[in-house]
Chain A
Amino acid sequence: MKRVWAFLPLVVVAILGGFLFWGLNPDRDPNAIPSALVGKPPPTASLGPIPSIGGDGLNGDVVAEMDGVVLVNVFASWCLPCRAEHGTITSLSKMAGVTVVGLNYRDTDSAAAAFLEELGNPYAAIGFDPAGMSGIDWGISGVPETFIIKDGTVRFRFAGPIVGDGAKKIFFSELGEVQVQ
């Protein structure tokens, strides 16, 4: 019995070490908020288009029925990271089998239109949400955020701009996985 107790410190070190090792993992982001939407259909609330841009608005039911992969990108003209990731969003919109839909969050008609005129409009449709109340339905914590949707189900949510090698690696590997499914 005494011999068994002699291993107790080793067991304690192993358990504690395991937690510390897990905590040191550089890929783990303690600030990342799990999305409750993953595995569920997108919110059904319907948003009209940006008045001076026109076209289609954002409708959860329509998004759910679209073919291929749908990316819902939450953006705003006041958001600098959105400006930074705009190039990535534009190249995503040119990929085959990918539709990019925008959610213009807490923005004004003129500012959003100027933003899209300056940088180009990669969105197939844009929902205009000046009051920002759809943000809670989508469970966003900030702008930008990008959702990957396929077959009427949210597959992945990326919080923050898709800028830099690290973020692109994560986003594109998830997108690739969803595409082959």
Chain B
Amino acid sequence: MSQHPTTYVPKSAFGKWFESRLPIAGLVHSSFIAFPVPRNLNYFWTFGAILVFMLISQIVTGVFLAMYYAPNASMAFQSVEHIMRDVNYGWLLRYLHANGASMFFVAVYIHIFRGLYYGSYKAPREILWILGVIIYGLMMATAFMGYVLPWGQMSYWGATVITNILAAIPVIGDTIQSLLWGGYSVGNPTLNRFFSIHYLLPFMIFGVVILHVWALHVPGQNNPTGVPIKSGKDAVPFTPYATIKDVFATVVFLIFFAYFVFYIPNFMGHADNYVPANPSVTPAHIVPEWYFLPFYAILRAIPDKLGGVIAMFASIAVLAFVPWLDTSRVRSTAYRPLYKQFFWILVADAVLLGWLGAKPPEGWYVIVSQVATAYYFIHFLVILPVLGFVERPLPLPNSILESVMGSKKHGAGMPAGANAEPQSKG
């Protein structure tokens, strides 16, 4: 929490009594009611709240699903069908949970790319950013294990492919693999322990999220200009301004979520996962869920097994170093016209890698994957450091207030000049 003394004074006698024993009301007040929030935040800043909502949604639907799910290879598939057919609103729980995972990743990718665009990872928010990378890694582990649980063809074979590549890790690879498998291949022990860990990890995510919000509240939020809050006029109190905006954005996101759950609930899934797992029959194309596709493409782009594993993990790990890889003195890409183009090329590269991840590793898909993978690393390891030195950024506004109000010479057709473009409010 921030180092300011709380200004919260409880009104009731009970409130005073409780607050002197556990000052949680003061904590909530200073963090989420009085907390100063830049007044120029756009809707990309609502995705933190959306993510918290999705985490709670996944935990709640998951806990109820776990009341009916059987984590045993002979019963898992049938128990999921039992949920879908016999449990009251079981179909809704299942579709909320499966599509919720996809929504969770939609939101987290928007959240991450918002951070990359506006330089939210730069000092003093480096630890905040690294905690975010840790949350992302935990999410990926949770989602991977969760997908195994229905014990369909894609569950079983996706688990087989990914746990097999771990053997490539020198020295400890075989041990990790046996620990994950609980045997000599993916089987019932694997399913059972994946269920246990899948239930555990979201609560670890919750803990790291608390650290993440704590780390955020020390410097406060970044904003689209990258210029920090300098006076009270740059900011608004969290409640009601950010609160109402977050609630509104979350409900709009829920419309998007509900559209998938109720009308196209199997759109993001794979038909093969409605076939019970069969170790003797390999599906024609083994693909992970869409949110893993870029990393799957990177894994398969490198012809060497260990090289592929290293590249895949490195593509996530490189994110942790971004605060130090980016040498620019200017935070926000809004004032970095040259980097802006490279940012969008990165987005296109990520989408291309995702598309390639679903393609069979044959023909010209292979060379394009290799080029796209190389470009991904070049962006972080070469472009990001070099551009900070080479680029001439646009002049920053003197304050958030100034950027919101617009320059004194405000008028149509005026070049950017000494003052930045006025930002739309709210």
A, B co-complexed: no
Please list the residues of chain A having a beta carbon within 8 angstroms of any beta carbon in chain B: none
Please list the residues of chain B having a beta carbon within 8 angstroms of any beta carbon in chain A: none
